[in-house]
Amino acid sequence: MPWGRRANGVIRTAVLRLEPGPEEEEKLRLVCELASKLWNELNYRRRRLFFEGKLTQQKLYETYKEFYYMYNRLLGSATTQAIIAKNDTAWRSFFRLLALKKKGRLPPHIARASPPGYRKRSRRRRRLWLALRQDQYRVDTERGIVEIRRLGVAGVVRVRYRGLIHVRGRQRGAEIWYDHDRRRWYIAISYTVEEKLIHGRGWVRVPMKPRGSLEAGVDLGVDNLLAVYVENGEGFLVNGRPLKAESFYWQRRIARYKSVLDRADGAGSTSRRLRLMYRRWRARIRAYIDAAVRRAMEELYSRGVARIYVGYPRGIARRGDGNGKLNFERVHVWTYGLLLRRLKEVAWEYGIEVVEVDEAYTSQRCPLCGAVHPRARVHRGLYICPHRRLAMNADMAAAYNILAKGTKRTITPSPEALTHPHRLGVGVTPPRPGARGGAYPRPSNQ
C-alpha cells in the first residue's frame, strides 16, 4: 500500500478496480494513450536537455508551457497540468538524489540515481496511464461509481468500481491505469488520512493515543517473523514459517513452468502466465505480512507500548555466503524492506513510535551476563549462555538486546520471557504442504 508523509499529515492510497462498459473503456483508452504520449514526449525532451547539460529551472518552465499548449485542447487543462506536474515531481526527486550522491549520503538501497523513465510496457507500446487532479473526480460510495470530469475530448466518464475505501480525509490526486496482465482497470485515490477503517473497531480517528508509556524491542527474522520483548518482562513471537512454505512452493512451481517455457520459446523467454505467477507469489507474501504486523501492533497497543525499537539488518540482502537456500530466504522470503515499511505504517495508526536500531551483535550478546559469545547460538533458535548455562530463545534474546541498545539504560531481563516466549496467533493458518498457495485467505483483486 502506497504511503507517505507531508507537512500537513500522512497520505494513504485506496486502490479500486474499475469496471467500465464498452463506451467508457473506449474513452479511457483514448485519454490514457494521450496522457502516456504527453509524458513520454515531455520526458524525452527533458532527458535530452539533461544529458546535454542544459536542463535548468528556466528550461523546465519553457518545456512546461510548450507541452501544455500542445495538449490542453486534447486532454483538458486540468489533466494536462496534472500530468506535467507529476513529471516535474519526478525530476525534482531525481535532482534531490543527485544532491545526496554528491554529499555521499545516497540511501544504501539505491545503487545509482537515474532520470525519470517512460510510460511504456514494450518497445513499441505505451502503458495506458492517466494522472488526475483532486478536483477532477468524485467518488459516489453509495452507488459505487467514480465520475471523472474535464478529460478534454473524452468529456465526462462515469465508471462503476469494486473495492473498499478504507480511509477518510482530504481527497488528493488520483491515477488510473490498465493492467495488461490481469486485463483490468484500476484507480488509486490518495487521501490525507483523518480516519481509518480497522477490522473489529470500525472507523477510528488516527493516529490513536497509546494506552501507556512502555517501550519494546523488535527483532526481525525468518522462522520467527517478529520477536518482541517489552520492558515489563513480557514478550511474544510471530511465526514466519508460512512465508517460507509459500515461497518455496512458488519457487518450485515457477521453475517447472519456466523450464517448459524455455524449451518451447527459447531461454530467457517470458509470458503473461509467468508474470502472473510472480505477482500472485508477492501478493500472498504481502497478505501474510499485513496480517502478522496488524496482529502484533494490536497486541502492543493493548499492552500499553508507546515506542518500539526495531533492529535494522543493514546490507543483509547483499551479504552472499555461498548458501543458496539461505540467500533465497534473505532476499525472497524475508522481504524485510516491506516488513519495516508495514511496521511504520501500522504503528503510526496506533500512535506507536518506531525507532530503527543497528542490530550488530544483538544476537551474540547474552541478556543475563551481558557478555558477547560468538558461538553461544548453537542452533537457529537456541542460545545457550556458557556462563549461566541457561538455554533461551535466540530471537527473544536479540529483541531484549535491541531494546537495551535503543533505550541505553539497564533493563532487568525476564528469564521466563526469554526461555518460554508466548507465540502470538496471526489469525490465519499456515499453508498445508503441497497446497495451492497455502491456506490463509487470498488478497482481494482490488
Determine the pLDDT at residue 410: 83
The torsion angles phi and psi of 187, rounded to 5 degrees, stand at -135, 135
pLDDT, one tens digit per residue, over 44-64 is 999 999 999 999 999 999 999
Domain locations along the chain: 3-198, 208-424
Percentage of the chain exceeding pLDDT 70: 88
Determine the pLDDT at residue 324: 56
Determine the pLDDT at residue 371: 82
Task: State the cell numbers at 158.
Answer: 462515469
Determine the pLDDT at residue 440: 40
Confidence of residue 26 (pLDDT cuts 50, 70, 90): very high
Task: Answer yes or no: is pLDDT of 348 > 80.
Answer: yes
pLDDT, one tens digit per residue, over 236-267 is 999 988 888 888 899 899 999 999 999 998 88
Determine the pLDDT at residue 272: 92
Confidence of residue 386 (pLDDT cuts 50, 70, 90): confident
Mean pLDDT of the chain: 86
Task: Answer yes or no: is pLDDT of 445 > 80.
Answer: no
Percentage of the chain exceeding pLDDT 90: 61
Give the mean model confidence (pLDDT) for residues 116-133.
90
Task: Answer yes or no: is pLDDT of 297 > 60.
Answer: yes
pLDDT, one tens digit per residue, over 154-204 is 999 999 999 999 999 999 999 999 999 999 999 999 999 999 998 778 899
Q: How far apart are CA 404 and CA 421, in angstroms?
A: 18
Confidence of residue 408 (pLDDT cuts 50, 70, 90): confident
Give the mean model confidence (pLDDT) for residues 274-285.
92
Among 405, 373, 403, which residue's Cα sits nearest to residue 391? 373
Give the mean model confidence (pLDDT) for residues 389-402.
88
Give the mean model confidence (pLDDT) for residues 6-27.
87
pLDDT, one tens digit per residue, over 127-152 is 999 999 999 999 999 999 999 999 99
Determine the pLDDT at residue 366: 85
Task: Answer yes or no: is pLDDT of 344 > 80.
Answer: yes
Confidence of residue 358 (pLDDT cuts 50, 70, 90): confident
Give the mean model confidence (pLDDT) for residues 374-385.
78
Task: Answer yes or no: is pLDDT of 222 > 80.
Answer: yes
Determine the pLDDT at residue 192: 94
pLDDT, one tens digit per residue, over 76-107 is 999 999 999 999 999 999 999 999 999 988 87
- N-term to C-term CA, the chain: 12
| Fold category of 208-424 in CATH | Nucleotidyltransferase; domain 5 (3.30.420)
pTM score of the predicted model: 0.85
CA Rg value for the chain: 25
Give the mean model confidence (pLDDT) for residues 419-435.
65
Confidence of residue 294 (pLDDT cuts 50, 70, 90): very high
